Chains A and B, each alone.
Chain A
Amino acid sequence: MRAEKLYDITQLSLMMGDAEGIRMMLNIFLESTPKILLELNEGFTTNDIEKLSRCAHKLKASLDMMKIETLYNTIRKVDRYENVISNLDQLPSIIEKINTTLEAVFAQLRDEPLLKDQV
């Protein structure tokens, strides 16, 4: 049984207008998001809340555009310094959820027909 798709590119398609544009954005997402995620994890492990929140804030717009609904509220719990502070007790589970969801999204994206079609 195929896992439920964690993202939806309808909004992105509207914004970009054509397949070429969508493909370009999906590639950028696959290239840039892991780097930001890595920095976010560094912020978490080094207790650098400033760095953690800045990375989460940076991710927020991309995740919204990709319609990754699972992370809609989660990312907003850490996208600002004061939000991180008020969710400190849940922080490990929040970071865990962001990591696992995004890893799954990356995997699903690699199977995205639009990307497989590219030469």
Chain B
Amino acid sequence: MSAFKVFVVEDDPFYGEMLKYHISLNPDYVVEKFETGKEVLNNLYKNPSVISLDYSLPDMSGLEVLRKVKENYPDVPVIIVSGQEDVSTAVNLLKEGAYDYFVKDDETKDRIWNALKNIRDRIKLEKEIDVLKEEIGKKYAFGNIIKGNSAEIKKVFTMIEKAIGTSIIVSITGETGTGKDLVAKAIHYNSNRSKFPFVAINVSAIPKDLIESELFGFEKGSFTGANYRKIGKFEEAGKGTIFLDEIGEMDLNMQSKLLRVLQEKELTRIGGHSLVKVEARLVVATHRNLAEEVQKGRFRQDLYYRLLGLPIFLPPLKERGNDILILARFFVDDFCEENNLPKKSLSHNAQEKLLSYSFPGNVRELKAIMELSAVMSNGDVIDDSDISFSSPDRNTDFLLDQDDTLQGYTRRIIKYYLDKYDNNIVRVAKKLDIGKSTIYRMLKNKEI
């Protein structure tokens, strides 16, 4: 962190020197003293971290100096330290943007010490926020967030680019685990709204009775237990982006309220009367086919059209061909780096195994599989035996993910049920309506 520069502006040599000496007791502070308003204004180019300003200066008043500082360097905090005990003067200076106002008395020492500490802490936090924002920006930069070069994913890139340039509502669809939330973040952090908040809310995770207050907020006293005013997610997002994940799970009553807010571009907090302008950009996502939901009467047609905006479809991983290997390598590299493991490559058999699997859990599942394989592999190559698929969603789909003989299918079915029922042979035999001896024989012959 660069030096914390304190400018002390004081024409009384005694008081000025005393402040300078006292503040300099902190070795992290660099203090420079000025006796006139003109002098300090001429030195503002040195970028002081804070200015301690006497109200009565020989050449101009503290108010004039304060105004000029705020005009040219609005972020520099100015503390007025004055012999003036007049409250109206203090109030006026605070209204003009002074950080604080201290009367020169026995308490000045502690007050100025605390104020400088608070300002320093605040500057440190602001810098940390800037760094974090920059890191988030990098993290969600296009190439870092979505990997792949298949034709399917290139279509997605094109759509994201179109979304970034405008404020159109974006509706993202895709199976679970395809990265809908990442696309929403990529749109936000690469758009001109990135300096404002990204507020995500999973509609399916919030009880339907609470969703309205979560989205729109409520006023104090609007219902039993409303002991304070709550700002809703739309307001919280400000000029940023609000991401409504699993929008297909929203109940019809709430859908109509959302539609009204989107049409009017303003909302009223529950129990409130004043209108709050809605300026956030809306991105929605669902794993459901909303058009089908409309046909089934579970989703309002008018809201469907309102939300359609720019549709982005995220293809399932199994349709992305070689992207599976690109992503697999990325996840392994990332995991090894994070865990200080040597770099590992994928054997030919491992690649074949990955390409023949259906990935019902999509990218999320692939990530978990590759992290486990990196742990399981002993050398610097991940082999097919290091890769295991254990998706709970594996039902009959897994039978069709690769061609096999009838005998092969039989083996896989029995193996699947043995895994599922903890190797309880009696139970599996009953479930499949085959003899126990068949399973015992296959086990003995190492067929399964």
Contact = CB atoms under 8 A, between A and B. Distances in A.
A21 B18 CA distance: 8
Contact of B18 (A15, A54, A57, A79): A15
Contacts of B83: 57, 60-61, 79
Contacts of B22: 15-17
Interface in B91-117: 104-106, 109
Interface residues of B, number: 17
Interface string A5-26: 0000001101111000100110
A12 to B, nearest CB: 8
Contacts of B351: none
Contacts of B105: 64
Nearest to A26: B14
Interface size, A (range): 20 to 34
Contact of A29 (B14, B25, B56): B14
Interface in A70-101: 79
Contacts of B409: none
Contacts of A31: 13
Contacts of B109: 14-15
B104 A16 contact: no
Nearest to B24: A21
Q: Is the interface of A mostly helix, strand, loop or mixed?
A: helix
A28 B13 CA distance: 7
A64 B15 CA distance: 10
A12 B108 CA distance: 12
A62 B106 contact: no
A115 interface: no
B17 interface: yes
Greatest chain B CB density within 10 A among A15, A60, A61, A79 is at A61
Contacts of A57: 56, 83
B86 to A, nearest CB: 9
Given A15-B22, A60-B104, 4 more contacts: A25-B14, A28-B14, A61-B14, A64-B105
8 interchain residue pairs of minimum CB distance: A62-B14, A32-B13, A61-B104, A61-B15, A58-B12, A15-B109, A60-B83, A28-B17
